[in-house]
Structure 1
Amino acid sequence: MAAYAALLSLKYIIQQIQLHPRPPISLHQNQADSLTDNLNFLQDFLEGYSYGSSISREAVDVLESRIKNAALAAEDLIETRVVDQILVGERVSSSDFHQDLEMVIQDMVFIKKDVMEIKENNIGIEDHLHINSSTLGGAGSSSSPSTRQNAMVGFDDLLIEVMDKLSEQQSNLRIIPIVGMGGIGKTTLARNVYAKPLIMHHFDIRAWVTVSQNYNVQDILIEILLCISKDESLESLSAKSEGELGERVHKSLWGRRYWIVLDDIWSAEAWDKVNLFFPENGQRSRIMITTRVSDVASIGSHGIVMDFLNEEKSWDLLCRSVFEDEDDCPPELEEIGKKIAKNCEGLPLSIVVIGGHLAKSKRTREHWEYISENTNTIVNLEDNERCLKVLQLSYNHLPVHLKPCFLYMGVFPEDNKIRVSCLVKLWVSEGFVKPINGKSLEVVSGEYLQELCDRNLISVHKRGSYGNIKFCSIHDLLRDLCLREAEREKFFYTLVVNGTWDVVAPCEIWNMTQLKHVNFDRLELPDPPTGGKDDEFVLGNLQTLTNIRNFKCGKEIVKRIPNINKLQIFYYEEPQGFLSYCLDNLGHLHKLESLRFSLNPINKPSLNDLVENFILPNSLKKLTLEGTYLKWEEMNTKIGLLPNLQVLKLKASSFVGAEWETVEGQFCNLRYLLINMCSDLEWWTTDSSSFPRLEHLVLQQLDKLNEIPSGIGEIPTLQSIELNLCHDDAVISAKSIFDEQEDLGLRVRVVARDSHLESLAGPNFQVETW
């Protein structure tokens, strides 16, 4: 939310001014203390209130607006003062600034008093934000779902899988979670299984309970008893205590095979409070839960993860929604209809809503073309904004610290694949991330991202070499929700500056001690100023330097970036060659974990001047080399002994020579190895002791490599081998390794130029022709 983000941002600015060795402005200590006190109080309030409290949404909206405006006003005053001080210097009077700031502080004091009064006197009406789930066509009411079965188009395989899990022979009680984002079809899947005659006859007792966000344990127990006993009445059960109800549920289920569906659970806490009432009676009983939150799904070990429908299944579901039992789609509408289905991005709720609209409107090509151009707009308006209301519940249930980060996703274009390393830094830069002792803000920001992924609000698009999330994305309907909420809260004001290549940083960059991340398409760093003290011109907070051209690795520069974590450097040869660059000093960067090092030499002899003393720090976890023309025997002295190296990418011409023989005991922590376009390599000799933890091996365009060493197949951790346009003999050796290790789950993917290798294909050995 905008108010919470504004508070965090203002707190961060105040902290930076107070910690700065030479602050551009000074705050009176009384004002700084008063601001901090009020900010902490209001932050605690926003973190503490919930939508289930007695504070009405109207009251909260008014408070949030006042909090946001006051925080932004203070931030504007401080930042404007900083700019004026830098531009004009001492001629700027500070009295007006402190008077204006005092007025803002007093405004915050009044807000604090109003909040305290609301909390003490319990002002407000019963929260009405919670939407009755029966109006959404998703969560449903407490009535038996067997009378409201929906067609399960596109999920036939999941339907069979769920039925198998329910009817399998294991006698112990099993928990079966179904997890996925709002509108993905979790409840519909459960309903369809619930109504199957085979399943109905398999269990002695069935009960369906909708839990939802504002759950009540007593109500849950009452619903179960009403489902399993016709003799019970709501009036008589409501008079009993939670303990009495729980005891009756336990006795009713004991000795009988039961199946309980707990639909729409939002927290593990809700499960913990009802779990003890379900007996483990050895009768092959089952409990199914549906949830949007992956953490909740972890309470069971036999879960079903529901993903988006592919284009074919989306089209099938749209046809069923539009035409029902009629003939197939008319030929003249099929092409545009498939486009409409694709625009729904695989979300069943969206497809069903748009299908319902098409079913009751005129079936002309012109109208369907209009629908295809305005799919999201129509989905969001149809059935009283049915889709957005379902997704709104997920947003409402977010902890307050995650709401600004989620709303921020609206700034990215539709269908954008968002680089996570950039996203988490943007969240930090915007002040959305709350500091946690012992963790960097970037680490906390990454944890925020994982939380949003666990809640199925952000999708993982691509993972990196060792399992980290590299790119993420957001469904268009969720992005629309972000935009709508952000507009309501006036959240977006985000400033975009497009850079250019060949930027030369000004010398003043060495005075920017708060810099954390520097990322340009191509940047040259100037020499640091001379004559300063040892602690001057030190960028102690700098963690990332990317795309630095002709990085001068002298001692004076290295000692001024002591905490650099990620470094990307490339060199274009100058007339005097590479003699002025001292790469041996890289070894002094003891916090460096990721290094990308590229060369583009005019002539190879001068290259030796640069790489001869190439020294790497032991802290490295990820290394990418390109154009370095190192000899394979130098691998043993420069890289193989790095104790923490997990990812090694050897790109075009990084190493030269016909033979690579590894030495025993090297690459002790390497998980991922890529060799690309090292065209001289013919023979590679190694055994499993050199790569004891290797998980993924990728070989690309190695035209002369005769075979993959058989010792690679003996590595117990090996999960996959990929060969892309490599020598046929190398592919055949990969097949031999696969045949020996197939039982251990090894996967091999081959991209070949000739189709004759397709005869090697089989389960887990994939062959594609380029």
Structure 2
Amino acid sequence: MAAYAALLSLKYIIQQIQLHPCPPISFDQNQVDSRTDNLNFLQDFLEGYSNGSSISREAVDVLESRIKNTALAAEDLIETRVVHQIHGGSTAHGENISSSDFHQDLEMRIILELKITCSEIHLTLGGAGSSSSPSTRLNAMVGFDDLLIEVMDKLTGQQSNLWIIPIVGMGGIGKTTLARNVYAKPLIMQHFDIRAWVTVSQNYNVEDILIEILLCISKDESLESLSAKSEGELGERIHKTLWGRRYLIVLDDIWSAEAWDKVNLFFPENGQRSRIMMTTRLSDVASIGSHGIVMDFLNEEKSWDLLCRYVFEEEDDCPPELEEIGKKIAKNCEGLPLSIVVIGGHLAKSERTREHWEYISENTNTIVNSEDNERCLKALQLSYNLLPVHLKPCFLYMGVFPEGNMIRVSWLVKLWVSEGFVKPINCKSLEVVSREYLQELCDRNLILVHKRGSNGNIKYCKIHDLLRDLCLREAEREKFLYVRRPHEPTIPRVINTQRRIGIHQSMSEKDYHPDPVLRTLQYVPLVRSLICNFEERLPLLDFRLLRVLKADDKKSYIDNSRQNEYSVDVVFRLVNLRFIAIRSDRPKSTGFPSSVNLLWNLQTLIVNCNWSVVAPCEIWNMTQLKHVHFYGLELPDPPIAEKDDEFILGNLQTLSIIRNFKCGEDVIKRIPNITKLQIFYFEEPQGFLSYCLDNLGHLHKLESLRFSIYSENKPSLNDMTKIGLLPNLQVLKLKVNSFVGTDWETIEGQFCNLRYLLISLCRDLEWWTTDSNHFPRLEHLHLQFLRKLKEIPSCIGEISTLQSIQLIWCSKSAVKSAKEILKEQEDFGNLHFAPIVIPSGFFTDFLTCPSI
């Protein structure tokens, strides 16, 4: 929802100015309080409407448009003033703008409009009537045979107690059709004394649900007689009818746990092997039962089988000349049964020529979204419509990433925060709230988990192509986001009013010269976010109000082409930036300019360059910084502070990859909230004494530490006592000579929260002495290139949380000890322990236990 996103973004700007220790502009506190009250009222209105207000859609559309336009105009006025003030207080035309003129303009053009809009909403709320109606829908799909058998087994099992069996998956995956297939099976019809099917939907009414059940289970009832009864009377009638009989109740399309809470007391636990089956898109609803079924996408083989079933029906096989292209069409549907059904229906009615099928293969998504009155998008649209308003901007933003792209979650959550989409919650960082938003979208099956990281958090996610198309349609309708379509030769004129732009050039597009794109991008004065991935450099100097610049997808450290590299001198002139991710063409062995200090609200700084860079001393003044990532950044000594609270980077969470990091007390106290630190050392022998590595033990909020030493003269990190006592450390990666000496002995009380331990290229390490209670929560142990390590301590296998051990090019005796740990756990019947052991010298030989 563009209006809601604009409101949050405006509130975020005002808040950042108020909290900034040296703000570029200032507001009168009384004015801020008044404006904030109005903004909060408008935000509450949008959230209330999203949760089921009775105001007509037409009235809300008008109000949303006014709210969005007013909030965006306020953003433009405030940020333009900020940029002008930082650059010397003059406009691009050399005109001076006084503080009084700015505040008067803001008051007359913006604040007055906010007050008028609030008054109109008050009047609208006072005269609003009711307009809600339940909706039903029906999916058509041939289901998964293996899942059908699994569901039938759960329904007919011998357990006498009442089972709740949720079927969960994204819209269009085939949940209802699977349930209908099971419900209509003769075996199920004979097994249960009573069966009832009721569609709950999002606008449910408890009395309607109860009436529908009674009409299914009792032939003596009529709609007229039941409609005259109260909810309690209807529930009592159901309870009495079901008591003593084996029943199956299907609650189709249930959208909230609240709906279940209101009807579940009417279903008796009668010891008759009764079952309740429900279909839902929401994982939290699915958690109601402990016997759930998760519907995933079809694999390529099953997708092809389903397509053939729809296209050829009773015919034997697909003609040989169409099989290859037909399998490609099935693959293009990405495992979503509803897409396959729509394409199958189209192919069944059209000519069966290779030329036509090749056309279908190249235009699968377009046809799916246009066929049968956009049947697939309508099925998925419901999931978007019923999203809480705070999740809608984050979901629509997913359309900015290239089709089929794996999305790095650590970047995604930073982008959502930088865009101002995340609503502050007390005692939680915006990044934590952002990850909670992501989990909510995953629970609703709108975003897919692709890979988890070493700490168990989601590392990469994806979005199905059809859902991405939905994002782009809604984003275009609300003027929330513009994304250039593949092979689009020109960019529409409407781009000059866009605030978020995504442009990606694939290798197949190199015949399209990007110059028209670059020329068009010179006329986008309002743009705040630019997510791009193509070979040409963009004319960045024209983007004075830019907040987000992501021009590096971090696919590789080294790129032979230097065309898409940016000068940090040019980038740092864009003083309104909050998020920077670029490849740098900065010459080797130099620092980046002190002008970085002018970026008053910079939060994320990611620069991909292949040489060490020296940061200016001014970096210690950048109190808004949260995440800094270079490939070899050297930090200078912090300036001497006159007051204890000067130059404290209290927002800083991530520092990587830092070269020769000095851990003196004056540095450590300035980064008290660091959670992720990656450091390495290249230095002469005499230099190591000044690094004070023991002080790492004072970073009490540290969750992830990576350490490497590229020198024969190593500083001592062999005493792990202080590192081991870090209370929040979850990920520890000890790489390249991190140990001094041959022995490592741990003691009780260390590593109390460590979940992932990597030891790699520590050439001196021979003996590791420990106990299972020294790593009470360890889940993954990875050992790499440890040629001298004699063995893995056998007690490691006794850690109850351990999930895997991995060895790559370790000594034969270490591999032998790993096999012995595996065998011992198998003998104990520990099926949860599933290590992967790669013997020295063989990268393809896996030793696994039966549970893998």
> Which range, TM-score by smaller chain?
0.7 to 0.9
73, 87, 104: which one aligns with 1:99: 104
Q: Alpha-carbon deviation of 1:273?
A: 0.6
Q: Is the 8 A contact 1:34 1:105 kept in 2?
A: no
Q: Distance in 2 between matches of 1:660 and 1:589?
A: 22
Answer yes or no: is 1:589 the counterpart of 2:699.
yes
8 Å Cα contact 1:53/1:127 also seen in 2: no
Q: Counterpart in 1 of 2:625?
A: 515
- Does 2:637 correspond to 1:646? no
* Pairing 1:55–2:55 present: yes
Q: Match of 2:838, SS?
A: strand
The answer for the alignment partner of 1:84 in structure 2 is: 84
Q: CA deviation at 1:193?
A: 0.6
Q: 1:478 aligns with which of 460, 467, 492?
A: 467
Q: Is the 8 A contact 1:570 1:598 kept in 2?
A: yes
Q: Please give the secondary structure, in 2, of the residue aligned with 1:23.
A: coil
Q: 2-side partners of 1:702 and 1:549: how far apart?
A: 24
Shift of 1:573: 3.8
Identify the residue that residue 651 of structure 2 maps to in structure 1: 541
Per-residue Cα deviation, 1:402-445 (whole angstroms, up to 9, x for no partner):
11111111111122222222221221111111111122222111
Aligned equivalents of 1:760, 1:544: Cα separation in 2: 37
The residue that corresponds to 2:830 in the other structure is: 744
Within 2, Cα distance between the matches of 1:556 and 1:296? 51
| Mapped contact 2:735–2:762 kept (Cα < 8 A) | yes
Partner residue of 1:419 out of 404, 408, 423:
408
Work out whether 1:721 is the aligned partner of 2:710: no
Name the CA distance, whole Å, in 2 between partners of 1:724 and 1:368: 47
Pairwise CA distance, 1:298:
1.0
CA contact (8 A) 1:170 1:284 kept: yes
What residue in structure 1 maps to residue 123 of structure 2?
117
- Larger deviation: 432-441 or 363-372? 363-372
Deviates more, 1:351-360 or 1:218-227: 351-360
Q: Distance in 2 between matches of 1:173 and 1:706?
A: 54
Quick check: 1:369 aligned with 2:354? no
Give distance in 1, aligned partners of 2:157 and 2:645: 69
**Could you tell me which residue of structure 2 aligns to residue 564 of structure 1?**
674
Letter of the structure 2 residue corresponding to residue 71 of structure 1:
A
Within-5 A mapping of 1:163-242: 163-242=152-231
Superposed displacement of residue 562, structure 1 = 2.9
- Please state how far the C-alpha of 1:73 moved relative to its aligned partner: 0.6
TM-superposed CA distance for 1:39, in Å, is 0.3
Q: CA deviation at 1:33?
A: 2.6
Shift in Å, 1:297: 0.8
Residue 379 (1) aligns with residue 407 (2): no
Identify the range of structure 1 (697-706 vs 381-390) with the bigger mean alpha-carbon deviation: 697-706
For structure 1, which runs of at least 5 residues remain unmatched after alignment?
139-149, 615-633
CA offsets, 1:103-125, max 9 Å, x none?
211111121122112211016x8
Q: CA deviation at 1:650?
A: 2.8
2:28 alignment partner in structure 1: 28
- Secondary structure of 1:276's counterpart equals helix
How many residue pairs match? The answer is 722
Q: Which residue of 2 aligns with 1:144?
A: none
Flag the 1:572–1:257 CA change in 2: closer, same or farther, 3 A.
same
Shift of 1:574: 7.2
- Please point out which of 246, 266, 283 is paired with 2:272: 283
Deviation at 1:272, TM superposition (A): 0.5
SS in 2 for 1:88: coil
Alpha-carbon spacing, 1:702–1:600, altered in 2? closer, same or farther (3 Å):
closer
Match of residue 624 from structure 1: none
Q: What secondary structure, in the 3-state scheme, does the structure 2 residue paired with 1:427 have? A: helix
Displacement after TM superposition at 1:762 (Å): 5.9
- 649-658 vs 244-253, greater mean Cα deviation: 649-658
Among 694, 705, 708, which residue is 1:598 paired with? 708
CA distance 1:18–1:243, shift in 2 (3 Å): same
Between the aligned partners of 2:621 and 2:750, the Cα distance in structure 1 is: 42
Deviations for 1:312-335, whole angstroms, at most 9, x for unmatched residues? 222222222222221212222222
**Equivalent residues of 1:52, 1:214 under 8 A apart:** no
CA distance, structure 2, for counterparts of residue 230 and residue 521 of structure 1: 74
Conserved in 1, the CA contact under 8 Å of 2:662 and 2:691? yes
Contact 1:203–1:259 under 8 Å retained in 2:
yes
| Aligned equivalent of 1:688 | 772
Aligned match of 1:325: 314
The CA distance in 1 between the partners of 2:695 and 2:824, in whole Å, is: 45
Pick aligned residue for 1:709 from 773, 782, 793: 793
Alpha-carbon distance in structure 1 between the residues aligned to 2:764 and 2:83: 57
Counterpart in the other structure of 2:850: 763
Alpha-carbon spacing, 1:683–1:18, altered in 2? closer, same or farther (3 Å): closer
Counterpart in the other structure of 1:143: none
Check conservation: 2:836, 2:847, Cα contact below 8 A. Answer: no
* Structure 1 residue 75 displacement after superposition: 1.1
Q: Secondary structure at the match of 1:750?
A: coil
Provide closer, same or farther for how the CA distance between residues 157 and 707 of structure 1 changes in structure 2, counting only shifts above 3 A: farther
Distance 2:684 2:767 in 1: 35
Q: 2: CA distance between counterparts of 1:729 and 1:324?
A: 60
Change (3 A) 1:330 1:156: same
Asked whether the 8 Å contact 1:540–1:562 carries over to 2, the reply is: yes
CA–CA separation in structure 1 for the residues paired with 2:749 and 2:665: 32
CA-to-aligned-CA distance 1:572-594 (integer Å, 9 cap, x gap): 44798556544344344343332
**Matches of 2:785 and 2:383, distance apart in 1:** 46
How much does 1:671 deviate? 2.9
Report if the CA contact (8 A) 1:206-1:227 is conserved. Answer: yes
Deviating more after overlay: 637-646 vs 468-477: 637-646
Give the residue type in structure 1 aligned to 2:649.
L
Contact 1:659 1:683 in 2 (8 A): yes
TM-score of the superposition, structure 2-length normalised?
Answer: 0.79
Secondary structure at the aligned position of 2:374 is classed as helix
349, 354, 358: which one pairs with 2:343? 354
The residue number in structure 1 matching 2:661 is: 551
Which of 664-673 and 28-37 deviates more?
Answer: 664-673
Counterpart in the other structure of 2:543 = none
Distance 1:755 1:29 in 2: 68
Distance 1:333 1:489, change over 3 A: same
The DSSP-based 3-state class of the residue aligned with 2:650 is: coil
